[in-house]
Amino acid sequence: MREVLVEKNRYFDSVFLLRISRELEDLPGVAKAVVAMGTPANLETLERVGFVLDRSAQRPSPTDLVIAVDAASGDALAEARSRLAELLVGSQGPASAAVARPTTLAEAVTVDPAINLALISVPGVYAAREAYRSLRRGLHVMLFSDNVSIDDEIALKDEATGRGLLLMGPDCGTAILNGVPVGFANVVRRGSIGIAGASGTGIQEISSLVDRLGGGVSQAIGTGGRDLSEPVAARSTLAAIDALTDDPDTAVLVVVSKSPSPAVADLVLARLRNAGKPAVVQFVAAPPRRAEENLSFAATLDEAARDACRLAGVDLSEEPRLPKLSPVAFPPEQRSIRGLFCGGTLCQEVWGILRAAGLEVRSNVAADKRFQVGAEAATAGGTAVGGTAADGHVLWDLGGDAFTVGRPHPMIEPDLRDRYVAAAGADPSVAVVLVDCVIGYGAHRDPARSLANAATEALATARKAKRQLLVVASVTGTRRDPQDYGAQRRTLENAGIVVAETNALAARCAAEIVQGGSQ
């Protein structure tokens, strides 16, 4: 029994709606539930999975809420409707009636005069307008929305700088502000290390490792993935460096970014040289550079975390080591690494490490255009990426735009990535499946369980074909995250997955396996 309802002009954040959809699907008798905004991509997805929109009615707009439920009975459908109503108004208990739920920015700022940050997650066509309104009310802005034009991004960042405010974004998903995780972020202890990052999972990997090494984070300021591009010219990164320089609680600076424009990288380094505080720079997959008076250059995200901790006075007694494995003799035709990642920066870091190890590796996030491969190279039907010995080593950022059209990001819902993991077991050229597992606020409630199930299927498929296969992973997160780093790691290990301490070590482990090194 299927039902599709449309509620006009009722907007909710997409991450919130994805969580509601999952909760409805957990109800008895509900096979499928999709609660989403009426964007063209979402409507196309609904029709593709078998929901029929009313052709006689006006087609939903991106500001309309669309509710689609496939239930076994009328009672199950009614229960889903009732639970949905509770979730949409936040009726989680008697205390919820006291929670203010403003519907406009003007109302929101009256709730608490101390509010100084606006988190904006609306369709890109409206995002710049709301960001301007927030800045003009004296609010710092975290602009989660994407599809904001370069021209608007530059203008917004100039507006923020002129007002002495931070504009984080657009497409900024991670921050830790005064100890509060915002967006996709991890629970880390407070400390003296301040991070500025044009990379969400880069911030997450570094901040989580700092915590696990015994250090702490003062602030982690996201800047948006385009900030170190030539047109944007690091406007937010420079503002973040200035803010961390002025922050008395920050003793050590860290800047992390996917491969930046060389000219813009020079601007960032010049600002760091004048900061008067020691700084660690990690430009992912960039060529190595010599240390300067107050600057050190980390080759990997984990090296950045360790360097920052040393500068902050944290005692690091042990160096991280590769997982111990018995040597595996793969036949010559089975030597490929297939990387399947939720985090784009983690994927690009692995690409750089494998290239430095002498492997020819292609990826949709390769820093060198000669090795870039588009999503059109993925096997049709969504069951595998790569797929022949001729493909060689291929790494996929499955959170890239081409893979998430009409689908949730794999950090929120890892089903797409994990279907690829399961399918990799049938590829006779693949020796190692290399994956990440990112936890924390905003992430899936149990990504290790989903990944473990997929890996179990892949390993069983390989065994049935009398082939060996290794699945190598790392977990980005901390023990205080809602999912618990230790519990997630044990889930993976119990499924036969090799778990490395860091993303970089997982990459080196994979390289040694396919190159025949013993450990």
pLDDT in tens, 173-188: 999 999 999 999 999 9
Per-residue pLDDT of 418-459, as tens digits, reads 999 999 999 999 999 999 999 999 999 999 999 999 999 999
Summarize the confidence of residues 351-365 as an average pLDDT.
Answer: 96
Give Cα separations from 300 to 27, 287, 295, 345 (angstroms): 43, 11, 15, 11
How many CB atoms lie under 10 A from the CB of residue 512?
A: 18
For the record, the structure tokens of 131 come out as: 């960001």
The CATH 3.30.1360 portion of the chain extends over 2-98
Q: What CATH class is the domain 2-98? A: alpha beta
Element (H, E) at 129: helix 124-136
Q: What is the mean pLDDT of the chain?
A: 90
Q: How far apart are CA 313 and CA 63, in angstroms?
A: 51
Per-residue pLDDT of 27-67, as tens digits, reads 999 988 888 888 887 888 788 778 888 877 888 988 889 99
The CATH 3.40.50.261 portion of the chain extends over 105-311, 336-514
CATH number of 336-514: 3.40.50.261
Which pairing describes strands 180-183 and 190-198: parallel, antiparallel, or unpaired?
unpaired
What one-character-per-residue DSSP string does 348-377 give?
HHHHHHHHHTT--EEETT-SSGGGB--GGG
How many residues make up the chain in this entry? Answer: 519
Q: How far apart are CA 353 and CA 359, in angstroms?
A: 9
Question: CATH homologous superfamily for 105-311?
Answer: Succinyl-CoA synthetase domains (3.40.50.261)
Which pairing describes strands 252-257 and 217-222: parallel, antiparallel, or unpaired?
unpaired
Cβ-proximal residues to 149 (8 Å cutoff; 6+ apart), any chain? 128
